[in-house]
Amino acid sequence: MSAAAAVLCGLGTWLPPHAVTNDDLARELDTSDEWIRSRTGIGTRFIAAPSTATSDLAVEAGRRALKSAESDSVDAVVLATTTPDHPCPATAPLVAAQLGLGTVAAFDVGAVCTGFLYALATGAGLVAAGTAASVLVIGADTYSRILDPADRSTRAIFGDGAGAVVLRSGGADEPGALGTPVLGSDGTGSDLITVRSGGSRAPLHGVGAGAEGAVGAGDAVGQAGHADPYFRMAGKAVFRNAVERMADASLTAARRAGWEVTDIDRLVAHQANLRILHAVADRMRLPRRRCPVHLDQVGNTAAASIPLALAHAAATGHLAPGHRTLLTAFGGGLTWGACALRWPALTPM
């Protein structure tokens, strides 16, 4: 018997209620609406309240995805996040419990902005192996917690949010069936997107104080000997890698699905930067109009960006049932991925 295919059958999203516009940022930082829009295409992002954790966003998105799928149970929960509630334990078991899913398998996946695709591939693997007949896959991040308050570049880009899909066991020829995922990584670029302090290499406690735990911290410790707990990104190198990796992975996923570039109806890419989205489309020789854009309204929401973009495109009619759709992302690690599917008839929640 052939392995069961994972079929996407539900989609839910959630954004915190507090919107921060470019003009709001300009009142705090040396920036402007024109500066941000011209470099990123972003106009607004949503920021979680201090009392709101990543699990809170994930629970709401998960609840909505289950409602979209007309289901109240799954066999596993896979949560993609860079900003878990705690370093230990994983956040997914708490999310599963708060959703009333009982003692199902639940675990986190860490692949930064590629996290949702890695989690999607993991969920599909659970279905193919027969371990689960249905899986809730969530991407959720509260990047506002790890941004340097004085860094205008990262604060302009990132927002908080969550998106989730439900996968069920089905046939490979069904609408919503996931194609063979394309995943990759290159650890030689691990310093291009990073939070340097807070892990085993450079624990926050004792760093810079001569403590034994700080030995080997290397460049995680600044010139003044202080820990750096904030997200850092080498913009130009990230841009170049993101465009190359997402375009190449997308073309590979299309070939595996038996598609030519002209067959691709929609390319739903990680919503990192409008220039990156356009450059990926151009490299693939795909019309830019086939690439839905949502980052102008929510910013870069990291692991949540693809499901948020899918929901927005579906709700606005830009993504319709039957569309041959490619999903692709790039993130820290470095990591990247892509996956093909024919968009199913469903109602995002």
Catalytic residues: 113, 270, 300
Helix (H, G, I), strand (E, B) or coil at 97: helix
**Residue 294 vs residues 90, 99, 117, 182, 265: alpha-carbon distances, Å:** 29, 27, 18, 23, 17
Residues 151, 94: contact at Cβ < 8 Å? Answer: no
CA nearest neighbour of 270 among 335, 226, 211: 335
Residues 136, 126: contact at Cβ < 8 Å? Answer: no
Q: What is the DSSP letter of 270?
A: -
Tell me the C-alpha distance between 271 and 292, whole Å.
9
CA nearest neighbour of 54 among 298, 305, 304: 304
Tell me the C-alpha distance between 10 and 63, whole Å.
10
What is the DSSP secondary-structure string of 189-231?
Answer: GTTSEEE-SSSSSS-STTTTTT-GGGTT-GGGB-TTS-B--SE
CA nearest neighbour of 53 among 79, 25, 23: 79
CA nearest neighbour of 46 among 233, 302, 276: 302
Give the type of residue at 154. Answer: T
Tell me the C-alpha distance between 97 and 92, whole Å.
9
Task: Please give the distance of CA 20 from its chain centroid, rounded to a whole number.
Answer: 20
